[in-house]
């Protein structure tokens, strides 16, 4: 199968891959498609570039690589299904988050053990609703490195198992809503439950960027902005003060 034929099948198969293209230097025009399964198609791309596959596929962003010789540049183009947003807690902010995620083209999933609140009428923007306890819901969706997890409940019997289960996954973002006082109390309870302190640093809590959010829609925007910044490896500051390019990363 040719490289282009295999590339065209990625959307339907749900696989992730990176297409490396030499854009400057020796071998200019050479292409290599690398998939998460380990399959490769094409060739002529320096191993120095293709060896960055794991890092680039997890970052989920196109990147222009400058190789050590200083003369060769390789454009790494990311392909894969949309990232997923998993929300635990069928509260009103969950619908606002799902609506925002859909605008981004992401897949939105909401779970809650309280089936009464978890209805298509209350959360019409969700792609999927899961009426299960947090540990069971997380086990079902198996968060990977392209999944963001947000816990919106304010009840220990939901918060703790949701966060403990999320910390055992590859989720690139784990956020928890709540005041600073509530976050500190939750942190102590997680430590008492046996969670290692270094693992707790993965939890963004209170989740979201400091944009003065007040309404549910503004809170959702704040959280989604932090999720995007985390996925891109950015700090979430203003663009006028950023030293990096706005779009494709250049290294």
Q: What is the pLDDT of residues 75-107, one digit of tens each?
A: 999 999 999 999 999 998 999 999 999 999 999
Q: pLDDT at position 197, please?
A: 87
What the chain holds in terms of domains, given with CATH numbers, is 3-79 (no CATH), 84-232 (3.40.50.720)
Helices 134-141 and 156-167: crossing angle in degrees, nearest 10, is 30
Supply the pLDDT for residue 249: 59
What confidence tens digit (pLDDT) does each residue in 197-207 have?
889 999 998 99
Dist. CA 132–CA 54, nearest whole Å: 33
Cα(110)–Cα(128) distance, integer angstroms: 6
> pLDDT (tens digit, 9 = 90+) per residue, 167-208?
999 999 999 998 788 888 888 889 888 888 889 999 998 999
Task: Give DSSP secondary structure letters for 17-36.
Answer: EEEEEEEESTTTT-EEEEET
Query: For residue 244, what pLDDT band results from cuts at 50, 70 and 90?
Result: low
| Predicted pLDDT at 245 | 62
Burial of 3 (0-12, 13-18, 19+ CB in 10 A): middle
Dist CA 102 CA 114 (whole Å): 24
**pLDDT reading at 220 higher than 60:** yes
3-state SS class at 172: coil
d(CA 126, CA 88): 12
Question: Are the beta carbons of 177 and 207 closer than 8 angstroms?
Answer: yes
pLDDT digits (tens, 9 = 90+) for 24-78: 999 999 999 999 999 999 999 999 999 999 999 988 889 999 999 889 999 999 9
């Amino acid at each position: 199968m040719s490289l282009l034929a295999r590339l065209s099948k990625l959307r339907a198969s749900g696989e992730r891959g990176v297409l490396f293209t030499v854009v400057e230097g020796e071998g200019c025009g050479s292409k290599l498609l690398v998939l998460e399964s380990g399959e490769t198609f094409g060739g002529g791309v320096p191993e120095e570039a293709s060896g960055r596959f794991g890092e680039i596929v997890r970052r989920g962003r196109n990147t222009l690589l400058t190789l050590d010789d200083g003369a060769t540049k390789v454009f790494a183009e990311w392909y894969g299904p949309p990232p997923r947003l998993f929300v635990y807690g069928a509260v009103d902010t969950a619908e606002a988050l799902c609506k925002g995620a859909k605008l981004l083209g992401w897949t939105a999933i909401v779970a809650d053990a309280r089936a009464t609140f978890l209805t298509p009428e209350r959360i019409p923007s969700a792609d999927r609703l899961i009426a299960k306890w947090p540990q069971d819901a997380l086990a079902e969706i198996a968060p990977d490195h392209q999944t963001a997890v947000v816990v919106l409940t304010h009840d220990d019997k939901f918060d703790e198992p949701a966060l403990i289960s999320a910390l055992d996954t590859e989720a690139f973002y784990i956020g928890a809503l709540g005041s600073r006082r509530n976050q500190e109390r939750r942190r102590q309870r997680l430590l008492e439950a046996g969670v290692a302190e270094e693992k707790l640093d993965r939890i963004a809590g209170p989740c979201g960027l400091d944009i003065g959010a007040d309404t549910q829609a503004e809170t959702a925007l704040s959280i989604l902005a932090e999720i995007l910044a985390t996925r891109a490896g950015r700090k979430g500051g203003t663009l006028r003060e950023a030293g990096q390019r706005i779009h494709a990363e250049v290294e």
